[in-house]
Structures are given as C-alpha cells and as structure tokens.
C-alpha cells in the first residue's frame, strides 16, 4: 500500500509539473502532453483560443485603474477580498471567486472615498489642490445645482475609461439623470457627480472583466473576443490596468483585428512605462508575495528584522526583476544568477553592506554568496519559520513557484514521533532532516524538497549569511532533478539550467494574460510559446509580445466542461 | 412601535421621519421588567462563533466529570471564571466517509458546514453562521461580522458558499472605522434625520442592479451563479441603505469608545495575538450591543495555527509535529503552552460578553457562541474527539455550566442544536455520516 501511495505521489509531481521524471520516476504520465511540432509564434497561431470568462478585478488592477483614471495621489484602500490561489496564481482565482455582501460593503466605502476625492475642492490651508478642477472637464453653471451638459461630458469621458468601452447614449442619459437628482437633492453639483462615480465603481461593467464575444469572420462557426474585450485583455495583461484612450480608439476603429494595428498597439504598450506595473503585478503574484502581509520574524531571534525590512525585501526583488528583465532586457534564467540588485537602508545591515540613503543600485561582490533572487531576503525570509530557517519550505517554494510542480502535503496520519528530535547533538538542519529520510513515509516528499533547501542553509531564517549553525559547519551540497551542486550559487545555476524554468514562466504568464487557469486545450499553445521563448533567449518582453500577438489570445473556445482534475485529487483516490 | 408610549414622551416629525426624544434616556430602551425592548419586542438573541487552532491534549483537557460542576484539568483551568457561562463538549467525532482526512481542514469544515471536503482546494460551502444569519440577521446593518486576531484577512471560518469566503476584519483601526465611522448611526441619539445622500445613493444603485441582471442573462451557467451573487450583494447594500434611512431602536449598552490610538502591530506571537484579540473583541461586543449585527465570528488562529511563542523557534503548528512528547508529562509541553494561551483568550472573549450589561442581565444571556477547532490531537491530525464549546444562554433557551461527553457521536449535533435554537426549520443537518437530526437535549431548557 505504501509503495502504491508513493508511486501515486510521484505521478502527481510528474503530471502537475510536466516533469519527465525526478528522483521518484517510474509513474510518469505523458498521455496528456503534446509535443510542439514547430516552435515559434507561427506554431502558437495554429492553436485556438481560451474560454470566454467573467472574472472580477484584482486589487492591483483596481488600484492601477483608479490611479490611471483619477490620479496616483488618491487614497484607494484595499476593498477586495483576497483571491484563492488557483493553478499557481491569485489572478487565476479571479475567474471563479464570488463576491460576498461584506465585500460589497467595503467596495461601497472605498467607492465613496474615491468619489469624494475626485470632486474634492481642495484646501489652501492643507495645500491640497482642487482635483475637481482638472478631473471634471467642465465647470458647472452653478455649483449649487444640476448642470446636465457638464455632468454628461464627465460621465461620457470617465465612464468610457472605467467601463472600458464607449457608454451607450441611454446609459449616459440614465447616469446624467442620477447626477441631476443628486445635485438637486444635495444642492451641490459635485456631490451629485460623486454619487454617480460611487455607482460606477460598484457596477459589474467596471468590477467584472467580461470576455464579450462575437462571430469570428476568419473562422466560421467560431467566436473571437470583441475588440473592446481584446483591448481589455491586452491592457490588464501588460499594464495590470484598464485600457487607455489610445487603446480604446484602436478597439473602436477595428485596428486591433488587423495584424498591423494589433502589433502597433502591443508594441506601444510594451514601450510604455506602464509596463512596469504589469510586470510587477505578475511577479508579485507568481512569487506569492501576498504572504508578506502576514509575515513577521521573532524579534528575540532576529531583532534587526522589522516590518519595514520585510517590505523592502519584497520591493528589492521586484526592482531586481524589472531592472533585469525590462530595463536590461536580460535572460529570465539569469535572474537566478545576477548579482545586480538594489539596496535600501533597512536591507543594508542584513546584507552586511554599506548603508545608503533611499534605494540605490548595488552589485554584490562575487564572493558575497548573493547570486540571484534565491539568495535575496524576500525568498529566504518568506519561506522560513518566524525564528529559524526551513529547508523544506524553501525547497517546496522553489518547486511550486518557479517550476510549476506540486509537492504533496504530508500524509494526515503520519506519526511524527519517528522524527522528533530530542537529541541536542543534532545541530544543523541537515542532521535533523536526515531523520525524515530514514522514514519512508516522510522520505517521499522530503527528498524532493530538502536537497534543494539545504543548499540555502547558509542563510538563516531572516536571510542573513552564515557558515555554521550552532558551531557546526554547514554542508550545502545537494541536487536538483539530477544536477548536483555544492553551494547556493550552484543551486542557482541548476535552476537556471532546469528545463522547466522557462516553461513554468510561460504557463503562468499565459494564465495571467488570458484570465484563468490552464486547461488541457492550452497545452499546445503553451508548449509552442515555451519553444519560442527559448528561441528568444528567454527574453520576457519578447514572450509578452508573443502571447499578446498570438491568435490564441483573441480567439475563444468553449469552456471545458469542468476544471482539470488535479493530480492531487486523483492521487488521494488512488492512495486510498 | 404602537404610537406614543409612556417612555417615549416626546415624538415629532422631521422630514417625515419619526423622532424620539426620551426622558430619561435609559428608561426609553426597555420594558418595565428589563427583559424586552420598549416596544414590547423581546431582546434579540444573537449567534456567534469563535475558532481556535490545533485542538487539545486529551489527558489534561477533558474533565473526568460530566454534567454540572465538572473539574477543570490543567489545560483548561483558565476557564474557571467563565465555567458557569459555558458548556464543554468532548468526545464528539467527525466522519469523513470516503473523503480523505485533509490535515487541519476536514475537522473544522465538518463542524462548521456539515460536509467532509474532498480536497484541500474544496471550499466548505455555506457555513453555519451564514445559515443562521439568513434567519436572524437580515434587519441589521451587517448580516454577519467576521474578525480575526491573527492580522490576516484570509483567516476566516465563514463562507457564503463554495466560492466565497467572508473575509475577516483584521485591523482594529479599520474595524472601528467600519463599525463606528461616519456611516454609524448612534441608536441613542435623540434626533434622527435620514441622510439625503443615502437616499441618492439608493437611487443610483437601482440602475446598477438592473445592469447586473442584464449581464447575468448573457453569460454561462457558472458565471450566472456568480452574477446572481453579485446581485445579492448589491441588494444587501440596498437593504443597508434602507436601514440607514430608518431611526434605529435605542440600545442602552451602545456606547462606542473612541477609535484605538494606533493599530495592533503585525506578528503572530501570542502577546500580539492576545492584544489584537482583545481589541477586536471589545469592538465586536460593542457592535453586538449596538445591534449592528446579530451574527458574529472571531478566530484567534487559522487552521494550522502559526502562532508563535517569543523566543521559541517553532510556531504552534510546527511544534505539534516536531516537539517530542515529554516522557514524564505524557504530552508536548510547548504545544500545551499554546493551547493554554488559547483557552485564556476564550475566557477573555466570553468574559467580555458577560461584562456587557443588557436589560436586567448581560449580553451573554442573549447570545449563543459556538467554538470549534480543526483537530483533536494535532500531532496526528486526529478528528475524532474534537472539543467544542458553547457560551451564553441564548435568551434563556440554553443551560450552561455543563460538560457533555459525546462518546463518539456526531459533532454536527451541536451545530444542529444551534440551528434549532434559532428556529431554523431544517429536519437535519450534515451529509452522509455527519447527517443528524438529533439535538443535544442535555443543554436545552
């Protein structure tokens, strides 16, 4: 029974991770995997589409959209409920998560706060500017009452950006009437306008991103996204925000349906500074950085780690990502080798480098043992216990977050007394975890996580470098899917060379772009994109461009009858 | 209200809305016996929950004596001040049938939703608090309130359905603002004037509701269900606006304090969790006293509690699996330290309701709080013998001060009993082996 269970577990890892087989090989399943016949964008174009989805805006999409439409100085709040991580991304959970009554109460309060800021008349004493003067494109005839023409102008202009399409005349009329009533009842034109803004910010046309479809003239009998829906998909993918005026114009003109027009639109978006927001949102999600909101370190063990240190560590990694991938147009795999990063005053003492004022670029010396983002505090501290490191957590995170594999949870009825450690002579994590490897029930999972994590044991639970633990010299040798190494730098190189590193990023980016978890029908497109990504030298802007310009990005297929059954569910049934 | 009564001596109209100016104020609230509101309607009975993590150590948690005046073993000795207000249930089981035993999930989901989850991503479906809220909490400002002492918005045991969690309020400052900020209507103010802005908001919302319905007609079945929920959320908002346009009933105990000077610091060590728990509890008690909701939830730990002890390198959950059993004591000493702290916070929670006066008794007399956990012996992920508590007398419908031994019976019986106390008409609750139609009669008056 045990061997069957372990076998099933290794099948699970293989299937979910698309692995050809790791140390637990012997139960691989290749039946559902297609081999791309030819790499490159052309191959992607031959596969069709994704399902039309209705997904709720994410918190960051909402924040970025409001900031774009009304200004980045607004206080927006965080009214959205956290999303369930689905197929590796929170953003993919947006296509299935519901919205509770409590969430609407929060959204209403946030909408009210935003609306009042938009029509704010400013305060000379506080040196706050009158936002109404530049966010409302006209002056009412009298502030104390309705002005339908001015209200309609604002509603038409702002509504188009928030709803991501031109508002029908009937809707403009309805909202103008609301503004009229509000202004009359409240005896204030701007107060009336504020109630309309509040209503817009609760409207499903704003908060739900709906893939509207139409018949595809190029593929009789099939559907494609409408041009407005395509504009939204492009914009949320690349900018993590609603389309701007120019993109909406491209949608209105039909240009997004021409190769030339869509290419021009995508290239403009890739060249925009707003690309950084999109890239940051994606990697923040993929790296599981939402956990920073609840991560804290034991102050007795790590007195130098404050909440600001942890926030800065998240920011450090995101800055490194943007700099390496976008600014330098670097190879994605080199993100795990690069010594170039950024340092803040709170990070400097933890890294043992000279303090700075504000953020500054920094290159770690070659002998500093800080190569790649695995050696940054964000990864090391996030995947540790509050008062000590965890080789298991780090190994699990690397496999799940960066290689798209799934490490099964421990069996529920295992008696951990077999690995309890009352022996004070066991000083290092390696010595302690050896207890797991001699227990076959534990070994199945621990041997796919611990050899990775132990290479990072030269960093404590806060990410500080060390060479010993309790006086014992640390052994950082290990292996990753057959590739051995002797140090954390070696682990970075093994990860760099891992065949699934690039394809995992493709899977995640494709999901992020198309708004939901992958299904089997996406496999050909993902594999073709993976090959094209490799051919591009693993340049992320090139991958973004390939996804955005692929036929699959705009074409619609029927929703699969049910979500892909996870290997875990199958495993549990087999294992029983 | 039946026109002018002897306690509300002045009544007028302001913008078409009834205004009560009471002399003296406190006498306006209740009937002559202090057992009902001034209009004769009984004091409302509310339902609450409390969640703790990682169960118990049976040998030092489960009293030897059942019934009244049960003994308090060392792990629960901190419950002495509230013993008369609570019932302790031990030896009740969860049945997973064909589903796997999902670590730290199966137990609490069965206790709160009556269903054994199929996998770790399978959300519970409607939890008992939501079911009861639909019956008793439709006329208050918030249908339910959910808070956590962990500082993590995700740490909630309350689900509207299998796709929607009721997220937890985690920041005392934000919770205060939500409860007693600018939208709060003090029920004890003598004057009341409906807000013109709220009327306009309600009017604007009607168009949003219509567009939601229209959008629902254009999407597939699964998305239609989500649009229906969207519509329900907006309707609830509309209902709230309606509530704000009515003069609230006076509530003698409703005296919100000032906003906390500063928020609780992030972190999971027990000192911080305890401080956050106290701040959130005080706000929750006042919210209930002010009748802002009639269903409320609090948790001091998520499933798989990650709470820490200052200077000890293992969080609670990690300790359950890595700390050796002390050969002399027969249990994991540090794990028990965590459970003892949790019981202290349970005593704090119940005590806060017991201190709040309401009518001729306390707020606790008019609530039923149901407390549950995720495992029994967490070291082995056991879900048999899960401990549970109730607190409060539910308006006189429940006895308290009892230890009830389940002897392997269904743990869902307690949830079903709560449903019956609140007048739900379902003939049974729970699925498969957790299905029950048997109340726990020993605690019923």
- pLDDT reported for residue B121: 73
Of all residues in chain A, the one with the smallest CA distance to B122 is: A569
Under 8 Å between Cβ of B90 and B406: yes
Using the beta-carbon criterion (under 8 Å), do A81 and B266 form an inter-chain contact?
no
For the whole prediction, is pTM greater than 0.90? no
Which of A412, A424, A445, A563 is the best residue to mutate to test the B interface, defined by the most B CB atoms within 10 Å of its own CB?
Answer: A412
A219 band by pLDDT with thresholds 50, 70 and 90: confident
Mean pLDDT for all residues in chain A? 85
Q: How far is B392 from chain A (nearest CA, A)?
A: 26
Which of B139, B161, B204, B301 is the best residue to mutate to test the A interface, defined by the most A CB atoms within 10 Å of its own CB?
Answer: B204
Using the beta-carbon criterion (under 8 Å), do A572 and B143 form an inter-chain contact?
no
Under 8 Å between Cβ of B91 and B126: no
Q: Hey, is the C-beta of B185 within 8 angstroms of any chain A C-beta?
A: no
Q: What is the 3-state secondary structure (H, E, C) of B365-429?
A: HHEEEEEECCCCCHHHCCCCCEEEEEECCHHHCECCCEEEECCCCECHHHHHHHHHHCCCCCCCE
**Residues 6 or more apart whose Cβ sits within 8 Å of residue B84:** B400, B401
Q: Where are the domains of chain A?
A: 54-209, 273-383
Under 8 Å between Cβ of B172 and B280: yes
Q: Where are the domains of chain B?
A: 45-171+264-443, 195-245
Chain B hits for A101, CB-CB cut-off 8 Å, are: 143, 160, 232-233, 236-237
**Residues 6 or more apart whose Cβ sits within 8 Å of residue B35:** B42, B43, B359, B360
**Distance set, CA B225 to CA B156, B176, B328 (Å):** 23, 33, 57
In this complex, which of B201, B212, B265 lies closest to A198 when CB atoms are compared? B201
Under 8 Å between Cβ of A77 and A110: yes
Chain B hits for A99, CB-CB cut-off 8 Å, are: 164, 226, 229-230, 233
Chain A hits for B211, CB-CB cut-off 8 Å, are: 203-205
Tell me the C-alpha distance between B82 and B50, whole Å: 15
Tell me the C-alpha distance between A334 and A337, whole Å: 5
Q: Hey, is the C-beta of B259 within 8 angstroms of any chain A C-beta?
A: no
Mention the CATH class of domain B45-171+264-443.
alpha beta
Q: Hey, is the C-beta of A570 within 8 angstroms of any chain B C-beta?
A: no
Of all residues in chain A, the one with the smallest CA distance to B168 is: A81
Of all residues in chain B, the one with the smallest CA distance to A570 is: B119
Q: How far is A165 from chain B (nearest CA, A)?
A: 15
Q: Which two tokens stand for residue B44?
A: 């409302």
pLDDT over 70 for what percent of chain A? Answer: 85
A and B: number of Cβ contacts within 8 A: 200
- pLDDT reported for residue B92: 97
Residue B188 per-residue DSSP state: T
Beta strands (DSSP E) in B166-289 are none
Q: How far is A95 from chain B (nearest CA, A)?
A: 9
Tell me the C-alpha distance between B130 and B113, whole Å: 10
Is pLDDT above 90 for A191?
A: yes
**Distance set, CA A431 to CA A435, A457, A485, A488 (Å):** 7, 12, 19, 18
Of all residues in chain A, the one with the smallest CA distance to B308 is: A386
Per-residue pLDDT tens, chain B, 445 aa: give them.
Answer: 333 333 333 333 333 333 333 333 343 445 444 556 656 678 899 999 999 999 999 999 999 999 999 999 999 999 999 999 999 999 999 999 988 888 889 999 999 999 999 887 777 889 999 999 999 998 899 999 999 999 988 899 999 888 788 989 999 999 999 999 988 989 999 888 889 999 999 999 999 999 999 999 888 888 888 899 999 999 999 998 998 898 888 898 999 999 999 988 888 889 999 999 999 999 999 999 999 999 999 999 988 888 999 888 888 998 998 888 998 999 999 999 999 999 999 999 999 999 999 988 999 999 999 999 999 999 888 999 999 999 999 999 999 999 999 999 999 999 999 999 999 999 999 999 999 999 999 999 9
Using only the alpha carbons of chain B, give its radius of gyration. 23
Instruction: Find residues 152-181 of chain B whose CB sits inside 8 Å of chain A.
Output: 152-154, 160-161, 163-167, 178
**Residues 6 or more apart whose Cβ sits within 8 Å of residue A244:** A68, A161, A235
Q: How far is A80 from chain B (nearest CA, A)?
A: 9
What 3-state class would DSSP assign to B194? coil
Q: How far is A274 from chain B (nearest CA, A)?
A: 29
Q: Hey, is the C-beta of B199 within 8 angstroms of any chain A C-beta?
A: yes
- pLDDT reported for residue A576: 23
A217 band by pLDDT with thresholds 50, 70 and 90: very high
Q: Which two tokens stand for residue B27?
A: 């006498």
Residue B106 per-residue DSSP state: H
Using the beta-carbon criterion (under 8 Å), do B208 and A293 form an inter-chain contact?
no
Q: Hey, is the C-beta of B239 within 8 angstroms of any chain A C-beta?
A: no
Q: Hey, is the C-beta of A382 within 8 angstroms of any chain B C-beta?
A: no
Under 8 Å between Cβ of B148 and B299: yes
Using the beta-carbon criterion (under 8 Å), do A102 and B146 form an inter-chain contact?
yes
Tell me the C-alpha distance between A313 and A322, whole Å: 14
Q: How far is B419 from chain A (nearest CA, A)?
A: 22
A135 band by pLDDT with thresholds 50, 70 and 90: very high
Q: Hey, is the C-beta of B220 within 8 angstroms of any chain A C-beta?
A: yes
Tell me the C-alpha distance between B39 and B61, whole Å: 45
- pLDDT reported for residue A150: 98
Q: How far is A169 from chain B (nearest CA, A)?
A: 15
Tell me the C-alpha distance between A110 and B244, whole Å: 18
Using the beta-carbon criterion (under 8 Å), do A102 and B380 form an inter-chain contact?
no
* pLDDT: which is higher, A164 or A475: A164
Chain B hits for A396, CB-CB cut-off 8 Å, are: none
Burial A537-546 (b: 16+ CB within 10 A, else e): ebbbbbbbbb
Q: Which two tokens stand for residue A10?
A: 């290794």
Q: How far is B118 from chain A (nearest CA, A)?
A: 8
Closest CA to B430 of B96, B100, B207: B96
Q: How far is B318 from chain A (nearest CA, A)?
A: 9
Chain A hits for B137, CB-CB cut-off 8 Å, are: none
A38 band by pLDDT with thresholds 50, 70 and 90: very low
The residue written with tokens 């290689």 in the block is A403
Q: Hey, is the C-beta of B211 within 8 angstroms of any chain A C-beta?
A: yes
Q: Hey, is the C-beta of A53 within 8 angstroms of any chain B C-beta?
A: yes
Using the beta-carbon criterion (under 8 Å), do A559 and B234 form an inter-chain contact?
no
- pLDDT reported for residue A436: 65
Helices B196-216 and A189-200 cross at an angle (nearest 10°) of 30
Tell me the C-alpha distance between A463 and A446, whole Å: 22
Window from A302-311, A496-505, A552-561 with minimum mean pLDDT: A552-561
Using the beta-carbon criterion (under 8 Å), do B152 and A413 form an inter-chain contact?
no
Tell me the C-alpha distance between B114 and B126, whole Å: 9
- pLDDT reported for residue A423: 58
In this complex, which of B167, B222, B324 lies closest to A103 when CB atoms are compared? B167
Q: Hey, is the C-beta of A54 within 8 angstroms of any chain B C-beta?
A: yes
Residue range A353-377: average pLDDT? 94
Q: How far is A496 from chain B (nearest CA, A)?
A: 31
Instruction: Find residues 264-293 of chain A whose CB sits inside 8 Å of chain B.
Output: 293
What 3-state class would DSSP assign to B67? strand
Using the beta-carbon criterion (under 8 Å), do B123 and A84 form an inter-chain contact?
yes
* pLDDT: which is higher, B37 or A3: B37
Q: Hey, is the C-beta of B262 within 8 angstroms of any chain A C-beta?
A: no
Chain A hits for B160, CB-CB cut-off 8 Å, are: 98, 100-101
Tell me the C-alpha distance between A533 and A531, whole Å: 5
Is pLDDT above 50 for A569?
A: no
Q: Hey, is the C-beta of A572 within 8 angstroms of any chain B C-beta?
A: yes
- pLDDT reported for residue B126: 93
Is the link from the previous residue into A284 a cis peptide, with omega within 30 of 0?
no
Whether the complex's predicted ipTM is more than 0.85 is answered with no
Tell me the C-alpha distance between B147 and B127, whole Å: 15
Chain B hits for A82, CB-CB cut-off 8 Å, are: 153-154, 167
Under 8 Å between Cβ of A150 and A158: no
Q: How far is B38 from chain A (nearest CA, A)?
A: 30
Q: Hey, is the C-beta of B219 within 8 angstroms of any chain A C-beta?
A: yes
In this complex, which of A108, A182, A210 lies closest to B200 when CB atoms are compared? A182
Burial A20-48 (b: 16+ CB within 10 A, else e): eebebeebbeeeeeeebeebbbebbbebb
Using the beta-carbon criterion (under 8 Å), do A576 and B200 form an inter-chain contact?
no
**Maximum pairwise Cα distance, chain B:** 75
**Distance set, CA B166 to CA A15, A186, B126 (Å):** 33, 34, 10
Under 8 Å between Cβ of A256 and A262: yes
Instruction: HSE, CB side, 13 Å, CA atoms: give it for residue A566.
Output: 19
CA B45 to the chain's CA centroid: 13
Tell me the C-alpha distance between A399 and A405, whole Å: 5
What 3-state class would DSSP assign to A23? coil
Tell me the C-alpha distance between B45 and B243, whole Å: 19
Residue B429 β-bridge partners: B436
Q: Hey, is the C-beta of A204 within 8 angstroms of any chain B C-beta?
A: yes
Beta strands (DSSP E) in B5-116 are 10-14, 17-21, 46-51, 67-68, 86-92
**Distance set, CA B279 to CA A552, B262, B286 (Å):** 52, 11, 11
Beta strands (DSSP E) in B167-303 are 295-299
């Amino acid at each position: 029974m045990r061997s069957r269970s372990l076998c099933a577990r290794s099948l699970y890892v293989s299937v979910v991770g698309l692995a050809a087989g790791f140390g637990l090989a012997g139960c691989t399943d290749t039946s559902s995997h297609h081999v791309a016949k030819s790499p490159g964008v052309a191959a992607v174009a031959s596969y069709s589409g994704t399902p039309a989805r209705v997904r709720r805006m994410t918190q960051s999409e909402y924040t970025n959209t409001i900031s774009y439409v009304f200004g980045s100085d607004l206080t927006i709040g965080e009214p959205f409920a956290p999303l369930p991580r689905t197929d590796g991304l929170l953003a993919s959970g947006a296509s299935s998560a519901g919205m509770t009554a409590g969430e609407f109460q929060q959204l209403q309060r946030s909408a009210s706060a935003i609306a009042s800021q938009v029509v704010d008349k400013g305060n000379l004493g506080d040196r706050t500017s009158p936002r109404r003067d530049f966010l409302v494109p006209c002056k009412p005839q009298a502030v104390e009452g309705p002005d339908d023409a001015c209200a309609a102008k604002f509603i038409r202009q702002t509504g188009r950006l928030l709803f991501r399409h031109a508002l029908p005349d009937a809707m403009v009329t309805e909202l103008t009437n609301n503004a009229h009533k509000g202004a009359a009842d409240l005896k204030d034109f701007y107060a009336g306008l504020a109630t309309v803004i509040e209503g817009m910010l609760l409207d499903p046309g704003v908060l739900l991103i709906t893939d509207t479809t139409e018949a595809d003239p190029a593929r009789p009998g099939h559907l494609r996204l409408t041009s407005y829906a395509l504009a939204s998909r492009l914009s949320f993918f690349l900018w993590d925000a609603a389309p701007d005026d120019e993109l909406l114009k491209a949608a209105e003109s039909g240009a997004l349906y021409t190769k030339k027009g869509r290419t021009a639109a995508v290239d403009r978006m890739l060249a925009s500074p707003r690309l950084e927001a999109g890239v940051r949102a994606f990697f923040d999600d993929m790296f599981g950085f939402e956990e920073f909101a609840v991560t804290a370190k034991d102050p007795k063990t790590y007195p130098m780690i404050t909440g600001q240190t942890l926030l800065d560590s998240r920011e450090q990694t995101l800055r490194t990502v943007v700099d390496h991938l976008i600014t330098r147009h670097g190879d994605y795999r080199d993100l795990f080798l690069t010594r170039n990063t950024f340092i803040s005053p709170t990070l400097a003492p933890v890294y043992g480098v000279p303090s700075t004022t504000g953020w500054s670029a920094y290159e770690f010396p070659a002998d500093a043992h800080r190569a790649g983002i695995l050696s940054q505090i964000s990864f090391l501290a996030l995947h540790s216990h509050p008062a000590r490191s965890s080789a298991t957590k780090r190994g699990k995170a690397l496999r799940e977050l960066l290689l798209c594999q799934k490490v099964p949870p421990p069996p529920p009825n295992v008696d951990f007394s077999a690995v309890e450690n009352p022996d004070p002579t066991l000083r290092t994590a390696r010595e302690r975890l050896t207890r797991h490897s001699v227990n076959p029930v534990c070994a199945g999972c621990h041997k796919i996580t611990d050899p990775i994590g132990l290479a990072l044991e030269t960093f404590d639970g806060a990410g500080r470098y060390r060479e010993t633990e309790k006086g014992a010299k640390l052994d950082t040798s290990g292996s990753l899917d057959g590739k051995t190494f002797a140090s954390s730098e070696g682990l970075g190189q093994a990860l760099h060379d891992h065949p699934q590193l690039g394809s995992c990023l493709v899977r995640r980016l494709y999901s992020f772009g198309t708004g939901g978890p992958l299904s089997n029908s996406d496999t050909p497109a993902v594999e073709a994109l993976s090959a094209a990504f490799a051919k591009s030298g693993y340049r992320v802007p090139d991958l973004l461009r390939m996804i955005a310009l692929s036929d699959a990005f705009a074409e619609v297929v029927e929703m699969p009858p049910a979500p892909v059954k996870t290997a875990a569910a199958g495993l549990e049934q087999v294992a029983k | 209200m039946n026109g002018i009564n002897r306690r509300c001596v002045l009544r007028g109209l302001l913008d078409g809305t009834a205004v009560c100016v009471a002399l003296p104020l406190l006498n306006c609230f209740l009937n002559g016996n202090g057992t009902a509101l001034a209009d004769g309607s009984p004091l409302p009975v509310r339902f609450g929950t409390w969640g703790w993590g990682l169960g118990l150590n049976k040998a030092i948690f489960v009293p030897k004596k059942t019934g009244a005046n049960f003994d308090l073993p060392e792990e629960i000795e901190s419950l002495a001040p509230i013993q008369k207000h609570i019932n302790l249930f031990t030896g009740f089981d969860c049945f997973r049938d064909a589903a796997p035993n999902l670590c730290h999930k199966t137990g609490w989901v069965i206790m709160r939703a009556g269903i054994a989850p199929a996998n770790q991503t399978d959300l519970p479906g409607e939890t008992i608090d939501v079911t009861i809220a639909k019956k008793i909490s439709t006329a208050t400002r918030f249908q339910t309130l959910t808070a956590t002492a962990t500082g993590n918005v995700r740490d909630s045991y309350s689900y509207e359905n299998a796709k929607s969690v009721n997220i937890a309020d985690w920041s005392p400052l934000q919770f205060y603002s939500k409860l007693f900020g600018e939208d709060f209507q003090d029920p004890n103010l003598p004057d009341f004037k409906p807000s013109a802005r709220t009327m306009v908001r309600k009017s604007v919302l009607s168009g949003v509701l219509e567009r939601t319905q229209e959008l629902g007609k254009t999407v597939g079945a699964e998305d239609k269900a989500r649009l229906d929920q969207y519509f329900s959320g907006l309707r609830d908002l509309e209902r709230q606006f309606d509530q704000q346009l009515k003069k609230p009933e006076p509530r003698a105990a409703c005296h919100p304090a000032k906003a906390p000077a500063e928020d609780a610091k992030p972190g999971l060590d027990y000192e911080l969790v305890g401080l956050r728990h106290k701040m959130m509890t005080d706000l929750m008690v006042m919210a209930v006293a002010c009748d802002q909701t009639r269903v409320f939830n609090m948790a001091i730990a998520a499933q798989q509690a990650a709470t820490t002890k200052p200077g000890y390198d293992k969080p609670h959950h990690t300790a359950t699996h890595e700390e050796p059993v002390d050969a002399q004591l027969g249990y994991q000493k540090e794990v028990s330290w965590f459970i003892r702290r949790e019981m202290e916070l349970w005593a704090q929670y119940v005590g806060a309701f017991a201190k709040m006066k309401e009518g001729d008794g306390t707020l606790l007399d008019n609530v039923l709080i149901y407390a549950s956990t995720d495992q029994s012996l967490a070291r082995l992920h056991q879900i048999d013998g899960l401990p549970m508590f109730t607190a409060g007398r539910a308006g006189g419908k429940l006895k308290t001060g009892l230890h009830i031994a389940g002897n392997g019976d269904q743990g869902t019986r307690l949830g079903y009993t709560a449903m019956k106390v609140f007048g739900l008409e379902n003939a049974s609750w729970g699925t498969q082996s957790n299905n029950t139609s048997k109340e726990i009669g020993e605690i019923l008056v």
